[in-house]
């Protein structure tokens, strides 16, 4: 078939832009109603659907004999209608309430529904690639360009409307793509898709059919405010029967919002922040930094202890808006109080760009779970609680300044114990030989009676007079000292005090309480294989990430069996040579692992997790598109082998060397950092973009009609790679994940080299 018409290329670009935007929005949608661990499933489900669509085309080519324009338009209309079905299903299946009857069945049904849109889009892309194989570089390049645009546009759009509404709105763009494919012949189907989308939006205005559950039992008469951002869905909830606290919910995390009243003085007693207030009282008035303002309780605590001024770094603008604007009548707008300077941004990158030294830096139950869910691939990584993060905090403290960190005492594991080990390791990394002299830990109870602990650390040792005063304050404000420089602690802290080093201590513990690093930032994952404490599993109060990962992997393997393995086993179609199956499997697995590693590397550099997702995907996909367009010029020599060899080199170099480069530029303006990120991504993306079109052309020469098969195999391994990448990172770190990605492309290089032809 000749060159594809411009309108066909436009339609393809629109479809792939919608498909990538859907993938990003689905990640946000699932994160709003499910535990964080499930967010990466959005990526996997999209890949399952895409690969299954390609496999259908390969195994049943007799069903695709109609003119290509008509086929592309028909499947695009199906894609549009399926987009509308996903948020409707998510709202009606009540996945937020995990204790609901038949929850597992509901979740499985949701997974199937979510895989339908990428399934239809996968058929469209596979059709275009197979029918225009002579110009596969152009077609694949447009596919990547469209995907890059979708990834880039999806995140800003999430500031304008809720994710479920945006997914429905994508149906209109998909309908336009159908018309672009077939002109007047697609007007009927396009009109149907748009009508369905508009009907759902109208019903939503009348009956809220797209509203998602919160996972919490909210009073029927509660005042509820909702805002969506790229980081989280934020709910502000005020129970009229409560005179002390309202709540702000962000995905599956919450924070109390103190109710301000004329006759209520917000002291540590009213705020129930006895232990958290002690560092302020101990240090005396000064300049404080609060990382993560939450519902404003930490801000009020600092002000009540005469800290002035108070700098606040709040990650999520939606939280500030809900607390300061929607709940202003009862909250007193803590982010905007006199003496409070609030900046919205990532805690570490914002702090790194400052030269200010503080008397105290405070992290009170600060999580970035909902933010990191926006990355789509990573699992429970938290860049606020790593050795490198604590180094950043210490560098911004005055000589007598205090780092104060509060966590639940024993929730997903001994969080406060791990904080202690982390603080000591960070101090030792700064050249302090006796870090124990610089650390003081208390425990008590948090709002609602939950056990909590507060750690104090500073660069100068605590004196005997300091310790006496801290013990007095702890007793006065309801705390118990568990670790101090001048005496034995309690429980596991006794072992820590007597150990030769913090590393020797954590190596002997049944749970992994070793200090997390930026390479392995999984602070909340303390699971070791088969670990139990007192006869209980490690995650007796939280979801075990390994169990959830293996469960997710089981679901994905089952879907892959249905979509790939069983159809191939029951088909009489001849399979391509094994070396080319291995080739496409390797580049599929390698590409998804590269994405996982790069997104993690750029989270701190760009400041917002969503910026990392958008910039990395857009930059990598668009530059890969340019590589695909240039791929025809590489077929006259060993161009593929050279490109793959250079790609392996760049992946290895990036895995072990990119972080120091990024840290050196972290204080630059955001626009400069985004531009620098795109420049860094461009060479690697261009090299990776050559692998698919050259391989497809070579495979088509060997076996006609095998292009959809290759596309399906690529999708299959990408599905498994999204889970494998998380497992590798949790066990060995993101650098190791990058090296595995390089190994995948080395396998592809070896497979291509054994073809016996100049490629």
Tell me the per-residue pLDDT of 660-709, one tens digit each, with 9 for 90 and over: 888 888 878 888 989 999 999 999 999 999 999 999 888 888 888 888 88
Residues in a beta bridge with 250: 234, 253
Residues 6+ apart with CB under 8 A from 158: 25, 28, 166, 228, 229, 230, 610
Least reliable range by pLDDT among 307-321, 362-376, 429-443, 734-748: 362-376
Residues in a beta bridge with 246: 257
Give me the domains of the chain, ranges plus CATH numbers: 6-208+546-753 (1.20.1250), 233-529 (3.40.50.150)
pLDDT at 549: 66
Q: Determine contact, residues 234/322, Cβ cutoff 8 Å.
A: yes
Query: H or E segment at 570?
Result: helix 566-570
Residues 6+ apart with CB under 8 A from 211: 91, 204
Residue 515 has pLDDT above 90, yes or no: yes
> In angstroms, rounded to a whole number, what is the distance separating the alpha carbons of residues 364 and 377?
26
Residue 158 has pLDDT above 70, yes or no: yes
pLDDT band with cut points at 50, 70 and 90 for residue 533: very low
> In angstroms, rounded to a whole number, what is the distance separating the alpha carbons of residues 647 and 633?
17
Can you tell me which residue has the tokens 């697995």?
A: 589
Strand order in the sheet with 233-238: 223-228, 233-238, 245-250, 253-258
Q: Determine contact, residues 430/406, Cβ cutoff 8 Å.
A: no
> In angstroms, rounded to a whole number, what is the distance separating the alpha carbons of residues 547 and 384?
25
Tell me the per-residue pLDDT of 569-618, one tens digit each, with 9 for 90 and over: 777 777 788 888 899 999 999 999 998 889 888 887 887 777 888 889 89
> In angstroms, rounded to a whole number, what is the distance separating the alpha carbons of residues 730 and 660?
21
Can you tell me which residue has the tokens 């997702």?
A: 613
pLDDT at 756: 56
**Average per-residue pLDDT in the chain?**
87
Q: Determine contact, residues 248/255, Cβ cutoff 8 Å.
A: yes
Least reliable range by pLDDT among 335-344, 546-555, 594-603: 546-555
Q: Coil, strand, or helix at residue 453?
A: strand
Q: Determine contact, residues 693/711, Cβ cutoff 8 Å.
A: no
Residue 406's nearest CA partner among 275, 269, 540, 291 is 275
Q: Coil, strand, or helix at residue 229?
A: coil
Q: Coil, strand, or helix at residue 628?
A: helix
Q: How many CB atoms lie within 10 A of CB 101?
A: 8
Q: Determine contact, residues 556/48, Cβ cutoff 8 Å.
A: yes
Residue 255's nearest CA partner among 406, 115, 118, 127 is 406
pLDDT band with cut points at 50, 70 and 90 for residue 624: very high
CA 751 from centre of chain: 33
Residue 74 has pLDDT above 80, yes or no: yes
pLDDT band with cut points at 50, 70 and 90 for residue 368: low
> In angstroms, rounded to a whole number, what is the distance separating the alpha carbons of residues 372 and 365?
16
pLDDT at 744: 96
For strand 536-537 and strand 532-533, is the pairing parallel, antiparallel, or unpaired?
antiparallel
Residues 6+ apart with CB under 8 A from 224: 218, 235, 236, 237
Tell me the per-residue pLDDT of 719-740, one tens digit each, with 9 for 90 and over: 778 778 878 888 888 999 999 9
> In angstroms, rounded to a whole number, what is the distance separating the alpha carbons of residues 505 and 514?
8
- pTM of the full structure: 0.89
CB burial class (10 A; 0-12, 13-18, 19+) of residue 396? middle
Angle at 521 between CA 516 and CA 526, to 5 degrees: 65
Residues in a beta bridge with 9: none
pLDDT band with cut points at 50, 70 and 90 for residue 380: very low
């Amino acid at each position: 078939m000749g060159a594809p018409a411009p309108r066909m290329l436009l339609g393809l670009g629109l479809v792939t832009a919608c498909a990538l935007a859907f993938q990003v929005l689905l990640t946000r949608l699932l994160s709003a109603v499910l535990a964080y661990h499930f967010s990466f499933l959005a990526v996997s489900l999209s890949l399952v659907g895409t690969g299954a669509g390609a496999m259908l085309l390969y195994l049943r080519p007799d069903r695709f004999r109609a003119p290509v324009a008509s086929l592309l338009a028909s499947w695009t209309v199906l894609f549009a209608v399926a987009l509308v079905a996903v948020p409707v299903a998510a709202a009606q299946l009540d996945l937020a309430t995990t204790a609901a009857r038949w929850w597992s069945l509901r979740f499985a049904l949701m997974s199937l529904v979510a895989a339908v849109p990428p399934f239809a889009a996968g058929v469209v892309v596979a059709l275009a690639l197979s029918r225009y194989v002579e110009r596969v570089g152009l077609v694949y390049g447009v596919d990547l360009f469209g995907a890059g645009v979708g990834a880039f546009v999806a995140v800003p759009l999430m500031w304008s409307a809720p994710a479920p509404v945006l997914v429905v709105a994508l149906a209109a763009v998909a309908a336009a793509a159908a018309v672009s494919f077939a002109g007047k012949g697609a007007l009927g189907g396009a009109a149907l898709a748009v009508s369905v989308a508009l009907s759902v939006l109208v019903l939503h205005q009348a009956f809220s059919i797209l509203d998602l559950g919160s996972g919490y039992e909210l009073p029927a008469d509660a005042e509820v405010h909702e805002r969506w951002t790229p980081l989280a869905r934020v709910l502000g909830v005020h129970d009229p029967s409560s005179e002390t606290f309202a709540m702000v919910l962000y995905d599956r995390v919450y924070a109390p919002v103190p109710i301000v009243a004329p006759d209520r003085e917000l002291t540590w007693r009213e705020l129930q922040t006895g232990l958290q207030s002690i560092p302020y009282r101990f240090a005396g008035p000064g300049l404080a930094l609060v990382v993560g303002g939450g519902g404003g309780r930490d801000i009020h605590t600092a002000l009540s202890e005469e800290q002035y001024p108070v700098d606040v770094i709040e990650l999520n603008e939606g939280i500030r808006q809900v607390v300061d604007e929607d709940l202003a009548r009862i909250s007193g707008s803590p982010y905007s109080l006199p003496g409070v300077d609030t900046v919205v941004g990532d805690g570490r990158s914002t702090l790194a760009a400052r030269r200010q030294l503080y008397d105290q830096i405070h992290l009170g139950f600060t999580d970035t779970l909902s933010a990191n869910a926006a990355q789509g691939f990573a699992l429970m990584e938290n860049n606020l609680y790593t050795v490198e993060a604590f180094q950043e905090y210490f560098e911004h403290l005055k000589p007598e300044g205090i780092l104060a960190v509060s966590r639940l005492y024993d929730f997903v594991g001994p969080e406060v114990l791990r904080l202690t080990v982390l603080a000591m390791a960070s101090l030792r990394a700064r050249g302090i030989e006796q870090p124990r002299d610089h650390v003081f830990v208390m425990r008590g109870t948090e709002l609602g009676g939950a056990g909590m602990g507060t750690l104090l650390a500073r660069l100068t040792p605590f004196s005997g007079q300091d310790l006496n005063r801290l013990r007095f304050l702890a007793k006065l404000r309801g705390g118990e000292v568990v670790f101090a420089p001048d005496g034995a602690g309690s429980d596991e802290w006794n072992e820590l005090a007597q150990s030769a080093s913090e590393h020797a201590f954590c190596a002997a513990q049944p749970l992994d309480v070793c200090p997390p690093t930026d390479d392995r930032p999984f602070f909340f994952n303390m699971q070791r294989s088969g670990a139990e404490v007192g006869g209980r599993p490690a995650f007796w109060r939280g979801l075990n990430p390994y169990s959830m990962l293996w469960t997710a992997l089981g679901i994905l393997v089952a879907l892959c069996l249905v979509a790939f393995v069983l159809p191939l086993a029951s088909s009489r179609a001849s399979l391509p040579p094994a070396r080319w199956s291995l080739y496409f499997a390797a580049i599929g697995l390698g590409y998804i692992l590269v994405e996982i590693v790069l997104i993690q590397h750029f989270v701190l550099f760009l400041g917002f997790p969503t910026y990392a997702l958008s910039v990395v995907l857009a930059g990598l996909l668009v530059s890969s598109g340019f590589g695909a367009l240039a791929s025809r010029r590489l077929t006259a020599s060993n161009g593929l082998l050279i490109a793959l060899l250079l790609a392996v080199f760049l992946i290895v170099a990036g895995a072990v060397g990119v972080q120091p480069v990024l840290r050196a530029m972290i204080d630059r303006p955001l626009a400069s950092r985004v531009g620098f990120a795109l420049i860094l991504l461009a060479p690697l993306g261009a090299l990776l973009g050559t692998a698919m079109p050259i391989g497809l052309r070579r495979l088509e020469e060997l076996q006609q009609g095998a292009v959809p098969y290759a596309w399906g195999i690529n999708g299959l391994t990408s599905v498994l790679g999204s889970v494998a990448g998380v497992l590798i990172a949790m066990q060995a770190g993101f650098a190791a994940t990058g090296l595995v990605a390089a190994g995948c492309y080395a396998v592809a290089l070896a497979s291509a080299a054994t073809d016996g032809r100049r490629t």
